[in-house]
Structure 1
Amino acid sequence: MSTSNQPSSGSAAATAASPATAALDEDIVLALVQDSPVAFDQAGSLAKLGVLTRQAAQKARDSLSRPNPDAKVVVVFPEAFLCAYPRGLDFGAKIGSRTPEGRSWFARYHASSIPVSDVEGAQMSAIRAAARDNNITLVVGVIERCDGPETGPKRETYGSKNPGGSGTLYCTALTISPRGDLLSAHRKLTPTATERLVWGFGDGAGVRVVDTPAGRLGCVICWENYMPLHRMALYAKGVEIYCAPTADSRETWTSSMKHIAAEGRCFVVSCNQFNTRSDFPDDYPAYEGAKPDEIVTRGGSVIAGPLGETLAGPLWDERGILTAVVRRSQLTEAKMDFDPTGHYSRPDVFRLVVDDGAKEAVSFS
């Protein structure tokens, strides 16, 4: 399934625009993929990422009113797409006790995760190739492990300089450029509830906004979106395309994403998985007795515009690709009457300090 929306017609005509304004009026396609990985299967999930990225890039370009193979495209995948959001799994843990079976499942989960710091290794090369081969900016949620070598760029150039330990996993959102460069690896700052058992905590070095051909892009994962200061940090860093990979399939999530788009005067792309029981291993203990086609995660992926309007979705109870054609000039138009880091910021009253790992904390006022 694919949904496309054209931008508003209020922007100045490109024929009369200056070069800077012409860039603002250039069509950008935001796309997301609501699907499931081959859970706990690294090779299978990486192969599926490649296929779905190609399909999404094609749908994105097909959504344009005029063919443009060089169109600026962003494709977003869900939280933990590589290689599983372990929904329903308790890893055999209770307060004061753990089971051997649970530890075995954790080892299996660890083996299917992605060694992000090995940027030139086989797994990261496959992810980078998905962006490069399709000439798109790619955002994908991964489970990051840290026991591999550090190849290519230094950790601090794209995320936290914390090596992370040999056994700890992180829920991470990667941003890859159309050239295949790793721009950002944002580790989820605070895993939610029992996620804290299997995922470590990120730090401020991952709270970043990066330049992409489509605009300034940042990632906030799932319930990090309920952290007001985290959102404000991205607004202050100039986010234009706010990506929210998630595992939340409640209907209330849509209203949160529309609120953030209106609050930040940015485009919001929120992407969730769609899973059935058959998307998990046959021996997965969380859904014993469930029918293969029983829905485990409903989806609810959505794209919202800077006035809080719905541009595509939400998509429920099926796999699919959503697209929205937008222009950066819409962001300026939306800030005419509300700019969260400009005339509505009241720096005489409020001040935000972000420790992003630099020598001195960054202050926004």
Structure 2
Amino acid sequence: MTAAVVQASAPLFDTPGALARAQDLIREAVTGRGADVVVLPEAFLGGYLKGLDFGITVGSRTPAGRDLFRRYHASAIEVPGPEVEALADLTRDLGCHAVVGAVERRGGTLYCVALFLGPGGYLGLHRKLMPTAAERYLWGQGDGSTMPVVDTGTARLGAAICWENYMPLFRTAMYAKGVDLWCAPTVDDREVWQATMRHVALEGRCFVLSAAQYRRRDDLPADLHPIPGEAPATVLIGGGSVIVSPLGEVLAGPLRDGEGILTAALDLDDIARSRFDFDSIGHYARPDVFSLHVDESARPAVVRD
């Protein structure tokens, strides 16, 4: 199997433009690079507004911040919806699987999600369980009902979005579902992220496919004013996409200083080889000492009998 991780960003507040960019990048990864599985970064559709504060201070909001959220809300996608169907048509045509970071609009609330698509079309989504820090101004929390692991026929795909990768109980729940290809859409461009990706690969004995955004100030609309600076070449999100083997070896990347697509040929037999001496939810577990209860029920605010 050949895997590809895409390091790029899409135009903000331009949903058709973002969709077209996603389609072009998936098509390039599959037809130009031979990828069977393609991962796009966190919030690729809908956008990650790094460096913007939405006019929020403790106990107050501003009219300008509310209007910025209105623009952000309008550029998010609905699931199901036309953007999802367009991506599903593409993966059907190409015969590939894709994991695409997006911002989902559901009523008045936005969610950071990973969309799963394949030769059969739209396969499901994962909603980020815990938005990080100021992301909580913008995004709601997912629940246990959207933690899928998708069987491609040759490997099982799962996703943890950005700092969900630091949640040990979430990781354990996903390992128990037998994830083989751990997809990590992110905007974390720090050097220490590489240590996390190698740790997850080694702990889960799975391939890790981490796709990060790359964005500069000149990619933003002129009327936005990010805190990091106004110089056009100011890097807002610096990339760091990487592909790691089940024994923690870096197969491709990390990619820095620009956009691009990383690919790696994955020997799926390496999964069994790696689990010979460590299986965190199998022979290396101690269920007599430790146990984990996972609630995968949906938690709607209103239930109608």
CA distance, structure 1, for counterparts of residue 16 and residue 62 of structure 2: 28
Aligned equivalent of 1:246: 186
CA distance, structure 2, for counterparts of residue 327 and residue 305 of structure 1: 9
CA distance, structure 2, for counterparts of residue 43 and residue 300 of structure 1: 26
The 3-state SS of whatever aligns with 2:47 is: coil
The 3-state SS of whatever aligns with 1:356 is: coil
CA offsets, 1:27-67, max 9 Å, x none?
Answer: x0110110011112101100111111111112431xxxxxx
Runs of 4+ in 1 over 4 A off after TM superposition: none
Aligned equivalent of 1:256: 196
Contact 2:51 2:228 in 1 (8 A): no
Contact 1:60 1:73 in 2 (8 A): no
The Cα of 1:295 is off from its aligned counterpart by 1.5
Aligned equivalent of 2:214: 274
Aligned with 1:168 (options 109, 128, 134): 109
Aligned with 1:60 (options 14, 30, 33): 33
The Cα of 1:134 is off from its aligned counterpart by 2.0
Aligned equivalent of 1:19: none
The Cα of 1:247 is off from its aligned counterpart by 1.1
CA offsets, 1:101-144, max 9 Å, x none?
Answer: 0000000001100101xx2x322212212322222101011000
Unpaired runs of at least 5, structure 1: 1-27, 62-71, 147-165, 360-365
Q: What amino acid is aligned across from residue 122 of structure 1 in structure 2?
A: P
Aligned equivalent of 1:222: 162
Contact 1:144 1:170 in 2 (8 A): yes
CA distance, structure 2, for counterparts of residue 292 and residue 40 of structure 1: 19
Corresponding residue pairs, total: 299
Q: What amino acid is aligned across from residue 94 of structure 1 in structure 2?
A: T
Contact 1:31 1:75 in 2 (8 A): yes
Aligned equivalent of 2:45: 82
The Cα of 1:289 is off from its aligned counterpart by 5.9
- 1:82-101 maps to which residues of 2 (within 5 A)? 82-101=45-64
Contact 2:41 2:212 in 1 (8 A): yes
Aligned equivalent of 2:302: none
In structure 2, do the counterparts of structure 1 residues 282 and 213 end up closer, same or farther at CA, with 3 Å as the change threshold?
A: farther
The Cα of 1:346 is off from its aligned counterpart by 1.4
1:315 and 2:275 are equivalent in the alignment: no
1:342 and 2:292 are equivalent in the alignment: no
In structure 2, do the counterparts of structure 1 residues 214 and 274 end up closer, same or farther at CA, with 3 Å as the change threshold?
A: farther
1:123 and 2:83 are equivalent in the alignment: yes
CA distance, structure 2, for counterparts of residue 132 and residue 279 of structure 1: 31
Aligned with 1:144 (options 104, 110, 132): 104
The Cα of 1:358 is off from its aligned counterpart by 7.7
The Cα of 1:279 is off from its aligned counterpart by 1.4
CA distance, structure 2, for counterparts of residue 29 and residue 289 of structure 1: 38
Contact 1:277 1:287 in 2 (8 A): no
Contact 2:228 2:236 in 1 (8 A): no
Larger mean CA deviation between 31-40 and 124-133 belongs to 124-133
Q: What amino acid is aligned across from residue 174 of structure 1 in structure 2?
A: L
- Aligned CA-pair RMSD: 1.5
The Cα of 1:311 is off from its aligned counterpart by 0.7
The 3-state SS of whatever aligns with 1:106 is: helix
CA distance, structure 2, for counterparts of residue 31 and residue 349 of structure 1: 39
TM-score (norm 1): 0.79
- 1:177-196 maps to which residues of 2 (within 5 A)? 177-180=118-121, 182-196=122-136
Contact 1:138 1:178 in 2 (8 A): no
CA distance, structure 2, for counterparts of residue 347 and residue 330 of structure 1: 26
Contact 1:79 1:140 in 2 (8 A): yes
TM-score (norm 2): 0.94
Q: What amino acid is aligned across from residue 209 of structure 1 in structure 2?
A: V
Identity fraction in percent: 53
The 3-state SS of whatever aligns with 1:259 is: helix
CA offsets, 1:216-250, max 9 Å, x none?
Answer: 11110100110000000010110001101111000
CA distance, structure 2, for counterparts of residue 101 and residue 358 of structure 1: 34
1:332 and 2:272 are equivalent in the alignment: yes
Aligned with 2:93 (options 118, 122, 133): 133
CA distance, structure 1, for counterparts of residue 293 and residue 218 of structure 2: 46
Contact 1:59 1:323 in 2 (8 A): no
Q: Which has the larger radius of gyration?
A: 1
Aligned equivalent of 1:111: 74
Contact 2:197 2:208 in 1 (8 A): yes
The Cα of 1:288 is off from its aligned counterpart by 8.6
CA offsets, 1:261-316, max 9 Å, x none?
Answer: 00000000011100011211111122596222321111001010000110110001
CA distance, structure 2, for counterparts of residue 140 and residue 230 of structure 1: 20
CA offsets, 1:58-88, max 9 Å, x none?
Answer: 2431xxxxxxxxxx71100000000210101
